[in-house]
Amino acid sequence: VRLVESGGGLVQPGGSLRLSCEVSGIALRLKATGWYRQAPGKQRELVASITSGGRSTDYSDSVRGRFTIGKDNVANTMYLEMNHLVPEDTAVYYCNKVGFDGRTFYPAQVDSWGEGTQVTVSS
């Protein structure tokens, strides 16, 4: 499985970014997936999740209402629309599989990660 994240950059507080994740080696339509992030000195956290068919999504409290996850199962690509960014959103963002028990999303046991894309929110 190959994951290539892109779209990060430097943005001012209140700004927006759209991240993309190109997936190869596995069909997104078969997997619940999501976006994780890791800030300096902190553990990686799951911030947004979506079911295999795209009908259900969930977000961490820190990003709910500001971030929107999406996917294109034909293009095998995931997206993360990020609005009203704050400095606390500064992190490296990664896409990968997530766990889903039919009701709740949770971080999956991941064997490998992509390089991620850096998001820096600063004035």
pLDDT in tens, the chain (123 residues): 899 999 999 999 999 999 999 999 988 889 999 999 999 999 999 999 999 999 999 999 999 999 999 999 999 999 999 999 999 999 999 999 999 999 999 999 998 999 999 999 999
Q: How far is CA 41 from CA 44, 112, 123, in A?
A: 10, 20, 21
Backbone angles phi, psi at 113, to 5 degrees: -120, 155
From CA 38, how far away is CA 57, in angstroms rounded?
A: 20
Structure tokens at 8: 């990060």
Structure tokens at 113: 């990660």
